[in-house]
């Protein structure tokens, strides 16, 4: 048996034995997890030393090869383990490892590994999304603190976060990209408030975060003052590979395979219907091509070379692919997928709390209850992390030289 196969068996057995059954079932059906369920699973990964596969060994990474990391990811998906908390482990961790001061590294990285700090990302503002450099949340020096005023929006998971890493304007006279700094802000600081934003899927996915005279120690600035733009940009490399969403796409394809076996049309399972076969195979081929390309780029990073702007295509292709997977899921389940899962809507009174459940009638297929919501969730994937239109612009200018 090859070493890689032995490693695969080890991971598979770990997931089988350690993933709580309730979490596995929710992930399989596409039901949203709450923070405690994430933490339960992440705690098991931490105890095994597998919490941060992409971090250097010095900071707690397991020292795996790119192939091992790919196998690990694949086995997690196949075993219905949840996707990790990307902002905490794939954004804040690398920012601190590459740009943090020794004091910041020694304080914050162990807190992340101990699962004590959960982070959210404060980049976008009501008037600064694609044009991020026009952000206006300002931080004014007052002795050894900054005083922060302004607002961030579309902040995913802020309701669960202990800390937020923010882009703030520290020089209003400089050119837009040159007057920005990165601050680490404790969400419990006086003057931080949240407003929930309920998405079209009915979930509280986003928030608007307000800063009203929030005092932040200067020690919590990452990198030099007014050089936050280069810190933020250096993250893009990591982000683009992750935003290709290969694992999430594999999970969807497996779901579609099950639907193809179980849902019937004109007396036969969908997997034998030509229209379903054609669309399923096309998605499968697109996923394999994406997966091979991501692996190729991971090897380039591993060999110490930088990545060029062409990796923007991975995000473009992966986010479009996942939307097409969800579209086929809804088309395959048909009218049943219009059923709305009230339990996914946290703001509604639950039947257990005495309210009637208006959606009590069980849909016919087990994936039906979440199909519409999941389709709406992935609608945002071609907007988040750089919209498709903007990605096209970057590829046209920087790669094709148009
Ligand atoms: C699921 C999801 C999660 C998110 N999570 C976070 C988070 O945790 N933290 C955070 O800070 N932000 C988050 N965001 C916000 C995200 O970064 C912004 O939505 C994104 O940058 C687009 O900005 P905008 O919404 O202001 O749209 P705009 O920038 O106003 O764009 C509106 C439309 O115009 C198009 N457009 C804009 N500029 C151009 C151009 N130059 N050429 C052609 N077309 C253009 C865009 O493609 C889009 O279709 C999240 C968004 C989503 C959908």
We find that the CATH architecture of domain 245-350+361-399 is Up-down Bundle (1.20)
Confidence (pLDDT) at 102: 97
Instruction: Give the tokens for residue 40.
Output: 């339960």
Whether the pLDDT of residue 363 is over 70: the answer is no
**Which residues in the chain are classed under CATH 2.40.110.10?**
119-231
Instruction: Among 197, 383, 391, 393, say which to mutate for ligand 1: greatest number of ligand atoms within 8 Å of CB.
Output: 383
List the residue whose alpha carbon is closest to atom 7 of ligand 1. 155
Position 361 confidence tier, pLDDT thresholds 50, 70, 90: low
Lowest mean pLDDT among 251-255, 266-270, 369-373, 385-389: 369-373
Which among 32, 125, 239, 248 is annotated as catalytic?
Answer: 239
Fold of domain 119-231: Butyryl-CoA Dehydrogenase, subunit A; domain 2 (2.40.110)
Active site residue 265: no
DSSP 8-class letter at 30: T
- Give backbone dihedrals phi and psi of 227, rounded to 5 degrees, phi first: -115, 25
Whether the pLDDT of residue 110 is over 90: the answer is yes
Handedness of CA 47, 50, 55, 58 (dihedral sign): positive
Confidence (pLDDT) at 349: 42
Distance 153 CA to ligand 1 centre (A): 10
Distance 206 CA to ligand 1 centre (A): 13
Burial of 56 from C-beta contacts in 10 A (0-12 / 13-18 / 19+): exposed
0.75 exceeded by pTM = yes
Q: How far is CA 298 from CA 83, 242, 303, 304, 355, in A?
A: 19, 10, 9, 10, 50
Three-class secondary structure assignment of 177-223: HHCEEEEEEECCCCCEEEEEEECCCCCEEEEEEEEEEEEEEHHHEEC
Whether the pLDDT of residue 352 is over 60: the answer is no
């Amino acid at each position: 048996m090859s070493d890689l196969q032995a490693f695969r068996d080890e991971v598979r057995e770990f997931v089988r034995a350690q993933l709580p059954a309730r979490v596995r079932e929710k992930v399989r059906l596409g039901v949203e997890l709450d923070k405690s369920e994430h933490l339960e699973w992440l705690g098991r990964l931490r105890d095994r030393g597998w919490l941060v596969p992409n971090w250097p060994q010095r900071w707690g990474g397991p020292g795996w090869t790119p192939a091992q990391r790919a196998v690990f990811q694949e086995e997690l998906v196949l075993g219905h383990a949840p996707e990790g908390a990307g902002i905490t482990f794939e954004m804040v961790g690398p920012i601190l490892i590459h740009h943090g001061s020794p004091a910041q590294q020694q304080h914050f990285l162990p807190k992340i590994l101990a699962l004590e700090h959960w982070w959210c990302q404060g980049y976008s503002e009501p008037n600064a999304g694609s044009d991020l450099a026009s952000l206006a949340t300002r931080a004014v020096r007052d002795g050894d603190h900054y005083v922060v005023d302004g607002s961030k929006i579309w902040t995913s998971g802020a309701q669960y976060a202990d800390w937020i890493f923010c882009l703030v304007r520290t020089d209003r006279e400089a050119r837009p990209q040159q007057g920005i700094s990165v601050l680490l802000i404790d969400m419990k600081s006086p003057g931080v408030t949240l407003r929930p934003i309920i998405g079209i899927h009915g979930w509280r996915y986003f928030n608007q975060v307000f800063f009203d005279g929030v005092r932040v120690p200067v020690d919590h600035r990452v990198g030099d003052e007014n050089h936050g733009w280069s810190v933020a940009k250096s993250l893009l490399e990591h982000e683009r590979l992750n935003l290709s969403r290969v694992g999430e796409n594999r999970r969807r394809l497996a779901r579609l395979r099950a639907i193809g076996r179980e849902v019937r049309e004109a007396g036969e399972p969908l997997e034998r219907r030509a229209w379903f076969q054609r669309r399923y195979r096309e998605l499968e081929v697109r996923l394999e091509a994406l997966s091979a390309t991501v692996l190729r780029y991971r090897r380039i990073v591993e060999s110490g070379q930088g990545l060029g702007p062409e990796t923007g295509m991975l995000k473009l292709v992966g986010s479009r692919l996942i939307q097409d997977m969800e579209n086929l899921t809804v088309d395959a389940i048909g009218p049943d997928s219009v059923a709305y899962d009230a339990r996914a809507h946290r703001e509604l009174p639950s039947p257990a709390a005495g309210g009637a459940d208006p959606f009590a009638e069980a849909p016919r297929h087990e994936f039906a209850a979440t199909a519409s919501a999941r389709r709406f969730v992935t609608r945002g994937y071609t907007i988040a992390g750089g919209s498709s239109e903007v990605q096209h612009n970057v590829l046209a200018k920087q790669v094709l030289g148009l």
